[in-house]
Amino acid sequence: MRWVFYPIAGLIGLIIAGAATLAAVSALAWPNLPPLDVLTDYRPKVPLRVYTSDGYLLGEFGEERRSVVKIEDVPASLKQAILAAEDERFYEHPGIDVFGIIRAAVSNVVSGGRGQGASTITMQVARNFFLTREKTFNRKLYEILLALKIERSLAKDQILELYVNQIYLGQRAYGFSAAARAYFDKSLKDLTIAEAAMLAGLPKAPSAYNPIVNPKRATLRQHYVLRRMYETGAIDEKTLEASNAERLVLASGHSNQNTPRGDYVAEMARQIAVEQFGEDAYQSGIRIVTTVTRNDQLAAYRAVRQGVFDYDRRHGYRGPESFVDTKEFSLKDEEHLDEALADVTDYDDMLAALVLDANPKKVRVYRHGETIDITGSGLTFAAPMLNDRAPPAKRVRPGAIVRIRNNGGDKGWEIVQLPEVEAALVSIDAHTGAVRALIGGFDFNRNKFNHVTQAMRQAGSSFKPFIYSAALERGYSPSSVEEDAPLFFPAGVTGSKDWEPKNYDGKFDGPMTLRDALARSKNMISIRLLRAISPEYAQDYITRFGFEAEQHPPYLTMALGAGMVSPWQMATAYAVFANGGYRVTPYVVKEIIDGEGRVVARVDPPQAGESAPRVIDPRNAWLMNSMMQDVVRKGTATKALALKRADIAGKTGTTNDYVDAWFAGYNPEVVAISWMGFDQPHNLGRGETGGFAALPTWINYMRTALADQPEKALPMPDGLVQIASSTGRDEYIYRENQPPAPLAVPNNLPPPSEAPDDGTLAARLLQGLPAPVVERTAKPVTH
């Protein structure tokens, strides 16, 4: 029997020798372990974050998405899920789990490989901060030693806090707080148990178990974590079943509809931060607080998208975006279907889907493991391309990539399309210039060009108020009468070619007041006004409003808005009318806070009526406001009466051939500019005027922006005199421009029959004849 003990003795000898070797190596390696300063003085790379003025996140920038949280702020369900998935005995072992190592070793011997590890959470912290992920004996030894050293220096909750904040979880998200935002658009405290289990399953292999990229594998991993939570007693059987059945809504493509959509604002803030702090802005935890508010930003986003959707519907369905060759795979093969959709980006609620079957009554589509049937009104828009007579290249058929949108409730799913037209809206505080909302285009992820600040477009008739304002300074009044009659300018006058301008409706209505002419947007009268005051004077005058003179050559076409403006400039300019004559400068950043919580920059803007410069006579602003209120009451912007407010004023704008559509409007508190057009300027379509294409967007935004604000009127300034106009309406004029009063007839004059007829003023008055008209021009008021 002696031979039986030889192998056992040999094995024991090997174990003793191995242990001795390990102890010797450990003794030599221990002094060479790195210091733990990086853990005890944890300074993670925190991205640049941009917020609304009321505290909502608009965007973040940096290689690592990270949001550092204290361990006490991590919900119990998430802690339990992490421990169940990664390290059940975390609070019991000293940094290494001997039982776990034995279990992993047995599993690897049975499987014939090194597939299963036994890393504790502490070992993972050691690896993430100090080591690589290579699978070698030396690296594993250092990992174990570092884990023991970490456990000597830090409490268990401190170690778990480091893990929760540092671990990479895919989607550029570092830490569970950032992952909760990236995958579910939620804070940690709002996660369900099912969502917590999904996140807890990610550390093992973030790319393999990413629920956005690999939903099936992620779900299998999630169910494993939930089962482990049940086995450890963290949840009961009823919770296990409910969590397994819960359908998770991922943030990709259709995040929380109440999240403020501020990509363009965030990008503006990012540029400011990088200009001031350089590349450190992306990792030092800088926070930028903008001037926009969540409600205004969300209202503007919805208004712009609705305006674009409405325009797109008016111009018909263009057909599927592309087609997949269905001969290469079966339409029942979900793996290939997912591959076909992998490179097609979702844009908010406009989701990509692959058509499995189509007929005029029902279209069945596939989208990431889900089959959706679209019927009824959901097919109305695409109906022309469901017909057999539709061109094959535009027909909705199996293999087509289409866009779908869920309208919720009874409306359900519908087929839509990505619009080609662009739109923008900017809103500012009339007294300070603080931007309340800014939407630079239909979708930032599709087109990052900011049409509010970067697009220079013709303003059309929305520029006319500035010509009228200049005319008031040259002696005109709202009751002045001009002729709405045809005009012709030969090439010798224009310097290029013959010009015969038209009114937008093609009609000429004869003499009318300037008030009526602006309300009805009469081109002929605007041209006559500009000719009377001179284009050179107008070019200089409009610079008071913030326009660039070189963008508005001194030609008569300036009267029709042929110069170039941006929505940002238009907001600046219209604020002058809204606040009574002061120029304020729009700004989007309110304050900048560094990573230590110190305010390093804060904006203190000039305010109307206080430190902002006065640029036009208050009487001018009041009269122009009165005239633009009539644009809403009885002119080209009567749709705005839907707001049921008496303090709304503004002007529509449509350029030649319906290329640009504008509405610029305000009340005494808020100025908003709405624009629509194509990036490569071309016709929007007949009838797509400012009042039809741009005004509805403005109305939908202002319905929210002014919801809680009482009506407010501009106070009438001194220096205006009331006069009777030819329309019978009481009007006002600058006191120095009022017509002279008729001379009184002396009592000692002879009776009319004896009046001399020598052509003198007295003789004309005696005969009942009017005094001769004296043309006069008031001197411009300078400011």
Share in percent of the chain as helix, strand, coil (round to 5): 40, 15, 40
CA–CA dist 15, 23 (Å, integer): 12
Residues 6+ apart with CB under 8 A from 754: none
Q: Which two tokens stand for residue 187?
A: 């804070």
Residues 6+ apart with CB under 8 A from 606: 432, 584, 585, 612, 613
Strand partners, 434: 587
* Look-up of token digits 């501009």: 714
Query: Kind of pairing, strands 599-602 and 649-654?
Result: unpaired
Measured distance between the N- and C-terminal CA atoms of the chain, rounded to whole angstroms: 117
Query: Kind of pairing, strands 599-602 and 589-593?
Result: antiparallel
> Of the residues 67, 77, 284, 461, which is catalytic?
461
Q: Which two tokens stand for residue 552?
A: 């508005």
Residue ranges of E strands in 45-128: 48-51, 57-61, 65-66
Range 634-652 burial, b when 16+ CB lie within 10 A, else e: ebbbebbeebebebbbbbb
Cβ-count burial of 617 within 10 angstroms (0-12 exposed, 13-18 middle, 19+ buried)?
buried
- DSSP conformation letters of 285-316: --EEEES--HHHHHHHHHHHHHHHHHHHHHT-
Range 89-103 burial, b when 16+ CB lie within 10 A, else e: ebeebebbbeebbee
Residue 153 annotated to the active site: no
- DSSP conformation letters of 652-692: EEE-GGG-EEEEEEE-SSEEEEEEEE-SS-----TT--III
Phi, psi (5° rounding) for residue 752? -55, -40
Q: Which two tokens stand for residue 134?
A: 């290579």
Strand partners, 662: 653, 675
Q: What amino acid is encoded at 355 in this protein? A: V
* Spatial contact of 518 and 628, defined as CB atoms under 8 Å apart: yes
CA–CA dist 194, 31 (Å, integer): 44
Q: Map residue 627 onto helix, strand or coil.
A: helix
CA–CA dist 507, 642 (Å, integer): 28
Residue 86 annotated to the active site: yes
Q: Which two tokens stand for residue 614?
A: 């006065």
CA 159 to the chain's CA centroid: 39
CA distances for 343 relative to 322, 338, 340, 346, 767, angstroms: 12, 9, 7, 10, 90
Query: Kind of pairing, strands 65-66 and 173-174?
Result: parallel
Q: Find, among 286, 95, 62, 55, the residue nearest to 174 by Cα.
A: 62
* Spatial contact of 705 and 335, defined as CB atoms under 8 Å apart: no
Cβ-count burial of 455 within 10 angstroms (0-12 exposed, 13-18 middle, 19+ buried)?
buried
CA–CA dist 156, 652 (Å, integer): 66
> Of the residues 60, 64, 86, 688, which is catalytic?
86
Phi, psi (5° rounding) for residue 625? -60, -45
* Spatial contact of 219 and 244, defined as CB atoms under 8 Å apart: no
Neighbours of 518 (CB within 10 A): 26
Helices marked H in 386-479 — which ranges?
464-472
Residues involved in catalysis: 86, 461
